[in-house]
Structure 1
């Protein structure tokens, strides 16, 4: 009896082992090397673009694509599992009736799992209901958001867009002080028979919190000036953009090294949130020294000293001395914050400069007062100045001029930077208008009025190419042009004017052949640059311009090529240009550093 039982058990184990071992013949041999085992190929047919990309990301067996086959059991298991994975992958794009068929093809060196996918019809919204509860139902910012971004009837059911809309609702609530906001209902119901969907969102924003007291800590300037940086009112609706404006204004003032702003939600009372502003003072004094070189100025040296605040009212002192082969200048400015210190300022300025270049000699003494305003993209400067200038051209006797000059300048600038580089413009423009004049009845040697308009434009054609254009035109009218000093006349030529000519070396000549400047001026440029390496670009350009006694005089044109390096402090440009109209003129090198606009 015992012997028979043992024999039966042995036979049963033998049969079981044969069952377990037999399928191994269908799989790759376990003792074969990886080079001898076949590779797995996974093919998905019927999908493309983002649907195919998402399908591959969801398909577990795709991780074995072009890998050595592990075993037939694992391949078959993952292959069957892939049917539901593919269906799930297409649901976020509105496909809920997807059909999937699959097969496994086995060859000696390659196994192929092939999926055939029929995504079916896309589901669309047949009803859309978005309800605002709480105080947000009276907030036009939410109304605009719903009008602009909420799904509408007939739109495909794209989960990413649905979640993005919900996220924008949450973000807008956080931005505008709806601290207790939540979704009381948020669902998309799919009707498999009609391929339609019903969207229902109930967003309960609750009450809107208000600005409470703004508390400053650790400032070195007075409370009266700090309060002027705050442009919102206590008791007005909370808005994080107002806090961002406050932070940017305080940081840009140069009084502080760090600025941290925190709403104290836990201390809110009667829905008013206190705002805590923690400031770390900057060093009071700043010194700077900077050697340099420019083809307009030659070798140069800049020495500067700034006192970031002189008193608790935030008054500042800024001074600089610039020495170069062409011109030496000393400048000092006393600056007073305006009513909105982040945007407005007044300054009293004094300047002394001495220029001696290409037989042009000038010594300028100037005092001025300025009123500067910033309006988002707009900038406006009013200036009243008195200048005395001693000057001479060539061997002419020196003249002395006196002018009291009111002026106004407007500028508009808008730009975007390339992704990954904040120092090169992607698209943008700058427009400036300068109007100034003087009258004999108000300390002036002669009546004069002058207008200069300039503009720059940058446009990205594609990932590699940009086009840059620049135009500048000026005109003046004076009773006696000969009494005007060089600073009130128009000149052309140089790094930022007409390349291929020297600095201010385009214009009418006197009897000695010295450029004396003109009544009119224009300087224009068209440039095409190409990015051949990260942070490196090459350019071709043509410039056109001149300064003239009248508009009928001919313009000078140049052509050139250049290299640009996008350095951490801005584009560095090396250009070589030649005058078309004067073929015997040698090619001229120009070296500049500065922003595109």
Structure 2
């Protein structure tokens, strides 16, 4: 019987639970209280001895006060209540935050070159602490971090705080901040050394956006590393300032690179609803000589259209942004009663300006073609063209190939004259745009449009590759590739002088990396603007793959319900 009584007492002891609660604060104040309040670790667990509980409760009251001081509450009062029952010990805190401390003095002094630096003048306007506003310790620390980061970014290597003081007067709930930052003088770029480079130093130096003796900025080094890493010449790139070797307020820079594989081969099957099954063979020589010239070639064989091209690329004055290219291309197509072989050579000058890109091109093309059973024709054109594009986008932080929101605008102008190696004279203009807008974490709106027009008195002489067609994966889904447009007497689509295409789409994130979409497309091409616009509607699934969205759509023509639903498969970025 004695053993049974002991067991019962032990069971009763283990069933006594500690419960801790508090009131009077919420939000970020409550979160900080919970991070400081040690007794919360025992809440919901078997209660320790009552003496231990009382000790933890007294210490908890002080911890609550400490938790609220970073928010400017230095006059906090905490009432502690401890209650015991047969199976529970309760500790309850009632918190009265009291008067909040306000910033009354903000005295920031800069000694050294940073005083007159324009970047510091701009930084001052972004300081989070303002006189007369509540004191936040995090904002005080943020000011110090902002000064340190600015100094490191702009080359004030010797910068340090000689005074950093936060003084709180309890009598009038006031805070006084005193900071003195001795920045020293700004360093400049010293000698740049390049190790293990397989290309000429003169060529690599064309990537530099700075010279020896220029004022130091870490952004210049980061831009250089990104440009060299993105050039495809190197397997690895390391750009670093050698602060340990700095002297006379100049810091040398070390660039270490390792060559990439010089030759790159690719081979692979594929499928596209515009092209059918295809086989791709590619060869790239990443550098032809030590001046960074490159060679790219591709042969793509498919059921509907086969393409082969060789592209010789010459880097410009700024290799990261500018390049010239010489291209030879052959496209053989036999589809929807169009039999065509296109031979084209071109020279191109391309420039990138951050979000802008412009391209000038001069092409000479010859095309042998036949629509249906008509006689085979040949036309030749010398075509100068200019194209500009503007892109603004916010990328998904978890996948840089996915667009969270943004837009693209493009314009292309081209033409030819029958007095300059061309079968006919024409001028054409194409305008296009795409947009992506995220409503919230799950819903997105997508839209695109394309307009084109051509002026010519000899349309019958214009090559099919220069005419406008509609229909296909990137045009009006629900119709086959280039299925929409004016037709000849046999009913064969021969292309038009005008083009209009528009699309509206909404998609929803149903699971990580998966979206479903609803869309409608409009468009057609014609010999004049009175052409009838065709409409389709459809549904789709998107897999957000590491290489970009993979889209599977099915669409139906509204005006032609007798036509079957058409499948479309595309891979590539939204913009």
TM range (shorter): over 0.9
Aligned residue in 1 for 2:398:
420
- Cα shift at 1:532: 1.2
SS of residue in 1 equivalent to 2:516: strand
Asked if the contact 2:12/2:87 (under 8 Å) is kept, the reply is no
**Correspondence for 2:482 among 499, 504, 513:** 504
**Correspondence for 2:163 among 185, 188, 191:** 185
Aligned residue in 2 for 1:113:
91
State the distance in 2 between where 1:394 and 1:162 align: 77
Aligned residue in 2 for 1:356:
334
Q: 1:135 to 1:289 in 2, by over 3 A?
A: same
SS of residue in 2 equivalent to 1:76: helix
Aligned residue in 1 for 2:321:
343
State the distance in 2 between where 1:30 and 1:348 align: 93
SS of residue in 2 equivalent to 1:502: coil
SS of residue in 2 equivalent to 1:405: strand
- Cα shift at 1:413: 1.2
Asked if the contact 1:34/1:68 (under 8 Å) is kept, the reply is no
State the distance in 2 between where 1:394 and 1:155 align: 79
- Cα shift at 1:36: 4.7
State the distance in 1 between where 2:220 and 2:36 align: 43
- Cα shift at 1:420: 2.2
Aligned residue in 2 for 1:18:
none
Relative to the length of structure 2, the TM-score reads: 0.97
**Correspondence for 1:515 among 490, 493, 504:** 493
Residues 59-95 of structure 1, C-alpha deviations (whole Å, 9 max, x = no match):
0011112222122122111111111111111111121
State the distance in 2 between where 1:94 and 1:395 align: 87
SS of residue in 2 equivalent to 1:73: helix
Residues 136-191 of structure 1, C-alpha deviations (whole Å, 9 max, x = no match):
01110111011122422123211112212211211111111111111111222222
SS of residue in 1 equivalent to 2:347: strand
**Correspondence for 2:71 among 93, 96, 101:** 93
Instruction: Out of 312-321 and 106-115, give the one that drifted further.
Output: 106-115
Residues 526-553 of structure 1, C-alpha deviations (whole Å, 9 max, x = no match):
1111111111111111111111222122
> Which structure's CA Rg is the greater one?
1
**Correspondence for 2:59 among 81, 85, 104:** 81
SS of residue in 1 equivalent to 2:10: coil
**Correspondence for 1:479 among 457, 471, 477:** 457
SS of residue in 1 equivalent to 2:66: helix
Aligned residue in 2 for 1:530:
508
Confirm whether residue 391 of structure 1 aligns to residue 391 of structure 2.
no
- Cα shift at 1:499: 0.8
SS of residue in 2 equivalent to 1:156: coil
Asked if the contact 2:436/2:445 (under 8 Å) is kept, the reply is yes
Aligned residue in 2 for 1:258:
236
Aligned residue in 1 for 2:227:
249
State the distance in 1 between where 2:489 and 2:89 align: 92
Asked if the contact 2:164/2:178 (under 8 Å) is kept, the reply is yes
State the distance in 2 between where 1:34 and 1:527 align: 65
Counting matched residue pairs gives 570
Residues 535-594 of structure 1, C-alpha deviations (whole Å, 9 max, x = no match):
111111111111122212221111111111111211111111111122222111111111
**Correspondence for 1:371 among 325, 345, 349:** 349
SS of residue in 1 equivalent to 2:100: coil
Q: 1:29 to 1:137 in 2, by over 3 A?
A: farther
Aligned residue in 2 for 1:221:
199
Aligned residue in 2 for 1:4:
none
Aligned residue in 1 for 2:542:
564
1:274-293 counterparts in 2 under 5 A? 274-293=252-271
Confirm whether residue 38 of structure 1 aligns to residue 33 of structure 2.
no
- Cα shift at 1:30: 11
Residues 340-376 of structure 1, C-alpha deviations (whole Å, 9 max, x = no match):
1111111111001100111011110000001111111
**Correspondence for 1:554 among 527, 532, 535:** 532
Residues 189-234 of structure 1, C-alpha deviations (whole Å, 9 max, x = no match):
2222322212222111111110011111111111110111112011
Aligned residue in 1 for 2:522:
544
Aligned residue in 1 for 2:3:
none
- Cα shift at 1:35: 8.7
**Correspondence for 2:36 among 58, 61, 65:** 58
Asked if the contact 1:526/1:542 (under 8 Å) is kept, the reply is yes
Residues 477-512 of structure 1, C-alpha deviations (whole Å, 9 max, x = no match):
112111111111111111111111111111111111
Relative to the length of structure 1, the TM-score reads: 0.93
Residues 260-318 of structure 1, C-alpha deviations (whole Å, 9 max, x = no match):
11211122232111111001001111101121111111111111101111111111111
Confirm whether residue 438 of structure 1 aligns to residue 416 of structure 2.
yes
